[in-house]
Amino acid sequence: MSSEHDQDPLRHHGDVDAESGLLDFAVNVRLDRPPAWLRQRLAAALDDLGRYPSAADDAAARAAAAARHGRDADEVLLLAGAAEGFSLLPSLRPRLAALVHPSFTEPEVALRTAGVAVTRVQLDPADGYRLDAEAVPEQADLVVLGNPTNPTSVLHPAAEVERLLRPGRVVVVDEAFADTVPGEPESLAGRRDPGLLVLRSLTKMWGLPGLRAGYALGTPELLARLARTRPHWPIGSLVLEAVRACCEPGALAESERAAAEFTAHRDGLVAELTALPGVEVVLPARAPFLLLRVDGGERVRAELRERGVAVRRGDTFPGLGADHLRVAVRDPEHNALLVKAFRDVLGRG
Ligand SMILES: Cc1ncc(COP(=O)(O)O)c(C=O)c1O
């Protein structure tokens, strides 16, 4: 049980590390703004703001997301970002929530703020932070994990995640970064199970953190329980348009190309960073960011900042310490600037 833990570090996110003017390796959003075709779609939808979003608009966006994952429209609940999905979890009235860490901290914040009893399942660095379904207490009726996981970049096998499923338990898989993995081999987005809830986000792939767009996939019964306390018109017309646009074949092809690019760029960055003295990279990494363990991490982070480079502190993630840093994978030109800054700082250490 973790009621004794301080909540404040859990509220820290990379956007705070990425002060303006710094070269941003702290935030894991692919683009600094949505692509031109998507901005045009959103601009064209501005006229829709003159009326309330209709049930038909909502159904069309749900149908688009459902088709993408081989599901039915009533198995999709549109969200103001995956973050809204976490905030709705207390509506499931769990008795004990198990949070698999190190991981994105918003689910824990949402559950604890609502007074839900929470236990942390700490994955083992010696085992590469891999999921061990056995480590999750049997009495947990809600389990939350990320796949791929922020900040470790670990992609858990779908079969291991499925081992968490039990009658009477809801397993929430945060797949906010799933579309950055080519082919999404371990995604459970298409899997129908009464206790499985998958959260997806448009934020990372499409440069849309300011829009707040995502959706949940689950059985209609589970989604109805989740949505119990939502207001009428919870999702605005621009989000509905973004979901439709980002699920079209052209967008999916672009997303798949971007995922392949991330893989190539990440491999290059891993090779450079592992060659630096005093830097360990958590491997294998499958997301568009890397978790590093760096000797004197706090000093290194401060000196990188002095050189104009922002990286994400790791110590606010449960189970990590001051020597842990998370860096985003960018294009080779920017990655080279990161490596150079590290080299300069470590050379002085
Ligand atoms: C792992 C993970 N899940 C979910 C989110 C939130 O996503 P959204 O912007 O869709 O609310 C983030 C944002 O940083 C994240 O890192």
CATH code for the domain of 87? 3.40.640.10
> For a pocket test of ligand 1, which of 16, 150, 212, 316 has the largest count of ligand atoms closer than 8 A to its C-beta?
150
Determine, yes or no, domain membership for 1. no
Residue pair 327/305 in contact by the 8 Å Cβ criterion: no
Whole-structure pTM value: 0.96
Parent domain of 340: 8-32+252-348
Nearest CA among 265, 285, 277 for reference residue 335: 265
- With tokens 């706090």, the residue in question is 298
Answer yes or no: do 86 and 204 share one domain: yes
Number of domains in the chain: 2
| CATH number, domain with residue 330 | 3.90.1150.10
Ligand 1 atom closest to Cα of 103?
1
15 C-beta neighbours (distance < 10 Å), count: 14
Residue pair 260/122 in contact by the 8 Å Cβ criterion: no
Taking the C-alpha atoms of residue 140 and residue 162, their distance in angstroms, rounded to an integer, is: 15
Answer yes or no: do 241 and 260 share one domain: no
Instruction: Indicate if ligand 1 lies below 6 Å from the C-beta of 29.
Output: no
Ligand 1 atom closest to Cα of 80?
11
Nearest CA among 188, 100, 81, 75 for reference residue 150: 100
128 Cβ contact list (under 8 Å, min separation 6): 154, 282, 283, 284
Taking the C-alpha atoms of residue 272 and residue 205, their distance in angstroms, rounded to an integer, is: 25
Answer yes or no: do 223 and 337 share one domain: no
How far from 106 is each of 20, 91, 155, 292, CA to CA, in Å? 23, 16, 19, 22
Taking the C-alpha atoms of residue 235 and residue 62, their distance in angstroms, rounded to an integer, is: 12
**β-bridge pairing 97-101 and 118-122:** parallel
User: How is residue 60 written in tokens?
Assistant: 């069309």
Cα atoms in the Cβ-side hemisphere of radius 13 Å centred on 318: 25
Render each residue's pLDDT in the chain as its tens digit; 349 residues.
344 445 588 888 888 887 778 999 999 999 999 999 999 999 999 999 999 999 999 999 999 999 999 999 999 999 999 999 999 999 999 999 999 999 999 999 999 999 999 999 999 999 999 999 999 999 999 999 999 999 999 999 999 999 999 999 999 999 999 999 999 999 999 999 999 999 999 999 999 999 999 999 999 999 999 999 999 999 999 999 999 999 999 999 999 999 999 999 999 999 999 999 999 999 999 999 999 999 999 999 999 999 999 999 999 999 999 999 999 999 999 999 999 999 999 986 5
